[in-house]
Structures are given as structure tokens and as C-alpha cells.
Amino acid sequence: MSPSQSAATGSREPDIASVDTVDAWIGAAIRPLGAEPVAIGEASGRVLAAAVRAGRPLPHRDRAALDGFAVTASHSIGAAAYNPLSVTGLAVAAGDPMPPDMDAVVPLGVAEAGGSHDVLLVEPVAAGANVEPEGVIAIAGALLAPVGTRLAPRHIGLLAAAGIAEVAVVGRPRVAIMLVRRLQGLEDSNGAMIGAAVRRDGGRAAAPVEVSGGRQDLAGALAAAEADLVLMIGGTGPGPDDHAVAALSDAGELAFHGVAMRPGETAGLGRTKSGIPVVLLPGGVAACLWSYEMVASRALRRLAGRGSDLPFDRRRMMLERKIVSAIGFTEICPVRFGAREDTVEPLPSFAEIGLMAAAAGDGFVIVSEGSEGHPPGAAVDVYLYESFPGDRQEKRAPR
């Protein structure tokens, strides 16, 4: 099963690569896409391609800091409980611009509304009281959000409040998904799964396309791809009908075939002659998902300007039972929550029960190449499928 057995494909393979080596190649060979402008209302989830600075002070004019009546402070001089003064007062809400010539706000409950535009004051008001002056939050030119920020609702609100209508964001990578149809009659279960994962990672996934035939047909499909990233699924093994690896050699550059990870060891990586990165994903469903997570999703996040780490929250937890792993392979070991809040227990491996190991689990542990595993009681980094603590709590309850 090792890639060195794949002489049948006719191509000369480099040795099996470590996950770190593959990561380094992705970091060096793939650059984030260029910037594109988007309206602020459409920018949530996108990554800033340039820092955003305030084009004007924030607030950009003096405004009321709370609900009440705007007044002119100098008119209140002399007001007292025994000498109530009636002054011109205009109702304002927090955030309203201050009316001309008015420089203080008297809170509701302190002033008493007199006539239609009058309030009765029983104490003097200082100029500037309860007024948020122009520029107090940010001066013009202040940094509102640095380059690389992944815009969330809070950023959208701040930028919109600063009068910014459009921002420059990293483009959304177009991802072509090719399903190698090696046998008639086999159902595909990878296209929908990988399409969902691509969308999760900020990519635009075109509908999966089936490609069939031999080495030349596959190479032709790769050469004709119009995308920022190609994922070719299936045909990565060493069998005589597996042509994906040789096809990538023909269509451009095969950087790696064989990644020292389980599941997913027959994954491959390279690029076409026109420079489009290509990830070859094994056709077995668990191997397909994990080679996506460990290789393809890093390439995609790199294109999209996102961070390189896996999109799962990581937490330090304690193993209830040992995990055994083969030296020389980065192994993905499924776990589920244990008896205590800070413990996890290993589940049967992906090799044994396929994606049931993921569906039944709460997360996974990555055992690195150089490790034989971990003893019971060891503290390990657990990657959690659900980022939301509440969902985890509810999931725990029925056990």
C-alpha cells in the first residue's frame, strides 16, 4: 500500500512526505488570492486584504451620550431647587447629533419637560455634560481593523458606524471538485462531503464533475481546469487502474505522492502547468475526509487568507485509555467525551469503522509521526468538532 509500490502507474514517485513537509510546501507555493471590493453588508466572514482606517473622526460630530434633552449649558447658570430655570430643550436619544448651539444633555428624569420646547432645570449643567465629542472614539486615520481580520458582525457594525461602505477583501477561492470514476455502478459519497467542507473553509465549490478514463483523460481534465484549487478524488492508490498520480505528473508537477498520515496516506499534491494547486484525495470516504482536512483545507485557507490551523477548537484534556499509534505516521485518532468534564476516551479507528468514528465522536487527537501514542492519564490536545460549549453540554447529557 505504500506509494513506493505504485510503480504500476509508470511515474517515478518521490518518497512519502511528512505532514510538516507538506505544510511547508503549501506555505511556500501557494499565495493568498488578490483583493476584491465588497459592500460592507456582504463582507461578513471575509478576510481584509488591507487595513481599514477611519476616514473621518468617530463620532464624526458631537452627539448625545444618552437619552434626554439637549440644552445650552450657559443658559443654566443660576438654576437651583429654589430657582428653577426654564430653558430651551430638545429631546434627543443616545447617538443623536447635537442640535446647533447646544452643548450639554440633561438626562430624562433630571429635567422636567415644560412647554413644547422647554425644560425646567433645578441645577446648572456643565458644557459638554453627557455629550460624546467628535473623534473621542477614533480620530480620522485611526486603525479600525488590521489586514487579515476575518470580518465578524462586530467589525461590520464598527466599520458601518465609521461611514465605510466598501472594503477590500481577499478573493473567495474557486474550487473544482473532480470525482475519478474508476468503476461503473459505484455510488459517490465524497462529492457532497467535500463540497460542504470547501464551503465551510470559505471556498466556492462548483458542483463535482466526474472524470473517467485513463492517465491521459485525467491529465487532460487537470490541464483544462479553471479554478484556484483542484481537488481530484479517487484513483490515488497503487493499483493498475489508478491514474490520478501519473496524470498530475503529466499535467504539471507532482510535488508529493504519499503523505505519512492515517487515514489518507495515498494523498498527493502538486500543481498544473498553469500553476493551479492540485490535491489528490483518496476515494475511501474516511481517507478522503482526513486528507482534505490535513492537506486540502490548508491549501484552501492559504488561498483565502485565513490562518493555517485546523478549523476546530483545541482543548487540553486527559485520556481515559491509551492510544496506540504507528511510528512514522501522523495518525488521526477519534475520541469522545469521557466520564469527567476534562477527559476523553478513544474510539475504534477510522480504519475500523470509517466515518462512524467521527459521527459518534466529539473530536480527535493528532498523534505525531514520532510518537507511539499516549498512555492513560496523558494530557493531550483534543480538536473538538463543535466549537460551542452549549452544544457540547447538550450532547453529553443523554449518555
Q: Does residue 354 interact with its own copies by CB under 8 A?
A: yes
Q: How far is the CB of 308 from its own copies (least distance, A)?
A: 6
- DSSP conformation letters of 296-361: IHHHHHHHTT--SS-SSEEEEEEESS-EE--TTSEEEEEEEE-SSTTEEEE---HHHHTTHHHHS-
Stretch 309-328 residues interacting with its own copies (CB under 8 A): 309-314
Q: φ and ψ at 384, to 5 degrees?
A: -100, 135
Q: φ and ψ at 296, to 5 degrees?
A: -65, -40
Identify whether the C-beta of residue 384 lies closer than 8 Å to the C-beta of residue 360: no
Binding residue for its own copies (CB under 8 A) from 29, 38, 129, 161? 161
Q: Does residue 20 interact with its own copies by CB under 8 A?
A: no
Q: How far is the CB of 275 from its own copies (least distance, A)?
A: 26
The CA–CA distances, whole Å, from 11 to 14, 202, 232, 256 equal 10, 34, 18, 12
Stretch 234-273 residues interacting with its own copies (CB under 8 A): 237-242
Q: Does residue 126 interact with its own copies by CB under 8 A?
A: no
Q: How far is the CB of 77 from its own copies (least distance, A)?
A: 26
Stretch 132-151 residues interacting with its own copies (CB under 8 A): 137-138, 144-146, 148, 150
Stretch 22-81 residues interacting with its own copies (CB under 8 A): 40-41, 43-45, 58, 66-68
* Interatomic CA distance for residues 268 and 12, integer angstroms: 13
Binding residue for its own copies (CB under 8 A) from 141, 224, 393, 396? 393
Q: Does residue 109 interact with its own copies by CB under 8 A?
A: yes
Q: Does residue 128 interact with its own copies by CB under 8 A?
A: no
Q: Does residue 96 interact with its own copies by CB under 8 A?
A: yes
Q: Does residue 16 interact with its own copies by CB under 8 A?
A: no
The gap between the terminal CA atoms of the chain, to the nearest Å, is: 39
* Interatomic CA distance for residues 139 and 143, integer angstroms: 9
Nearer to its own copies, 253 or 313 (CB): 313
Identify whether the C-beta of residue 130 lies closer than 8 Å to the C-beta of residue 106: yes
Cell numbers given for 260:
505519512
Q: Which stretch binds its own copies (CB under 8 A): 25-33, 72-80, 365-373, 379-387?
A: 379-387
Q: Does residue 359 interact with its own copies by CB under 8 A?
A: yes
Q: Partners of 336 in the beta sheet? A: 345
Nearer to its own copies, 222 or 244 (CB): 244
SS3 238: coil
Binding residue for its own copies (CB under 8 A) from 1, 51, 126, 327? 1
Rg of the Cα trace of the chain? Answer: 30
Q: Does residue 158 interact with its own copies by CB under 8 A?
A: yes
- Give residue for cell 492515517: 262
Identify whether the C-beta of residue 307 lies closer than 8 Å to the C-beta of residue 215: no
Binding residue for its own copies (CB under 8 A) from 80, 139, 196, 209? 196
Binding residues with its own copies: total (CB under 8 A): 95
Q: How far is the CB of 190 from its own copies (least distance, A)?
A: 7
